[in-house]
Structure 1
Amino acid sequence: MDAKEKAEIELFLRKYMPEYTDDRYAVKERKNLILIVVESLNSWLINFEIEGMEVTPHLNQLCREDSSIVALHVQPQVKNGRSSDAHFMYNTGLLPINNGAVAVRFGEAGYPSLAKALKGYEAFSMVCDNAKYWNQNIAFSSYGFTRLYDCHSVKGSSGNLNDHTLFKEAASRIEGTGSPFYAQLITLNMHYPYDKLEVPPTDISKSKLYTPNIRNFLETAHYCDNAIGEFIKVLKETGIYEKSLIAIISDHNEIDKNQIENREKSSPEDKEIAMIVLNGSRKLDYVHPVEQIDIYPTLLDLMGANDYLWKGLGHSIFRKDSITLFPSEEKRSYVSDLMITKGYFKLK
């Protein structure tokens, strides 16, 4: 990075990066953070029914909770890194690089991050696959996680974990973790392809509506929803639920709404993904557009971590409506790419 590039980045940050330091939107007391990143969860799945059967009954109910913060119009911004790009954005507040997967190409850089902003928190992540995929074992360490559990961490496992096993193991490990903690849990069952069913069938499979692939996708969504519901039940039984802020967020879109409605062309609205936060500071159904990069500053806001200098390149949903100056998408992507690829955050 030369002096001109460095000056260009710092001018951009002075002009556009949020500067708020107050915690007016934070939860009242210090809470654990449980971040559930759901594979391929399009927003249209929430409250979707097939022949009178709710596909995601647990998520539907969680959206109606008194202190839930719901944003169903989140526009995905992942690039070549797909799921790994989402993990990167949620943890660092940066956009992915334009060529390749940032976690693979630049996974060792010492990024500012959510885990580092949560001072005094023990941070761990649990994934269903091999930690070597997408360079997770290296990248998650750079995001501030001190422990990473994968499919090899579960006794008797011979392959990728299913979502029920993930949450069962996570609940057990959370019980043995002191407070406060930040736990990132990443599901897998909703991952494509959907040419064959890998989860137990329900009445969804008996329907004649849609294609077999779409019905299989709906079955995996129902299976994941059930796993999340069981996990929330366990958290309530152990007393951890009330002590935690729980954010359920999609990693990216997969089967878009136009496919369900049998439309050839898709619009940005067809690709929308979801953010559902439980035990938030207020009840909020946010109906305006949100970008995926806005999740990081929203979590900082909710966790009362605005004393952390790095606010990311998005805007908290609690403050977006008051922002009058936005950079172009091209400029923001360019600056983020420059910061990552030219080593603005020095390599370890």
Structure 2
Amino acid sequence: MIVSLLYKVTRKLLSLPSILLCADTAKDAELLVLRHENAVLRRQLAGPVRYEPADRFWFAVLSGLIPRRRWREVFPVTPGTLLGWHRRFIAAKWDYSARRRTGRPPTATALKSLVLRLASENPRWGHRRIQGELARLGYRTAASTVWEILHAAGIDPAPRRSGPTWREFLTAQAEGIIAADFFHIDTALGRRLYALAFLEHGTRRLHITGVTSHPTREWTVQQARNLAADLGMRMKSLRFLLRDRDGKYGEAFDAVFEAEELDVVKSAPRAPRMNAHCERVIGSIRREVLDHILILGEAHARQVLAAYQRHYNEHRPHQARNQLPPEAQQPVTMDINAPRLLRTQILGGLINEYRHAA
């Protein structure tokens, strides 16, 4: 009974504004219903309400139409939260961070390639030396940028990559190295002969100094003296003699070259690859000549080896010299329709040499 009476009184009180202001009564009643519904929903929610950016924006805009003293009654959030949303939207208006790219501009790919090329071709250059070279070429970049490019490519600093590789070291030292090695020849009657060969690494020039059936130390020393006399002033350009540990050499053999200020370098025992250039030329002698000729004796062996040495030094092309013989200059490019070629037969036609007819 009490609840029913209270409800009737409330209805009567709320009906008074409807009589005075008929136009706004329905709107006010609708607002009261929505506010009460909002209060009921907030009582039923266990956790905090999450508002999307669009909800915050809408509440902040509507706050300008409602007096601030009524904010606590109208809005489901505190006035401080509402003002915070408003400040955030105003600050976003003047925030240009999203409209510009942060950090340094990216380094051009062509410049990165140039930095890596300079580093690979000049292993003793550090990042500052490379930066200086780029500046001289007209490319302005920071030293730190060069360092980052090298670091990203896995290239160590200059002191750790300045040491040459074995290929670079041997190529740089080739002009000053001459190597020696013995090889044997079996005659038609089964007699074994020995020949001593020297090879200049820089020019690939071959020297077969002698053939004997009894290679004593005295004979080997005499071959060293003969070679020194044949080379003459070219001995001044040599710095190292490379040989194996064969007992046929001896201290007197080394003394001949040490007198010419050459250092004698001995290869490790049973390591023919340490004297690979000599091993290769001996293999060429066997494949191209000795495997196809029956050697009758020492005189015949000297004749055959002398003919091959002349062919090897004056005509045979070499990959290490861009297909040029050791004692030849760069040939002149000829037309395919040039005069006919002349063939010269070496060792009875075993080897052929070709030249343009005069």
TM-score, structure 2 normalization: 0.25
Tell which structure's C-alpha radius of gyration is larger: 2
Higher share of residues assigned helix: 2
TM-score, structure 1 normalization: 0.25
Higher relative contact order (CA 8 A, sep 6+): 1
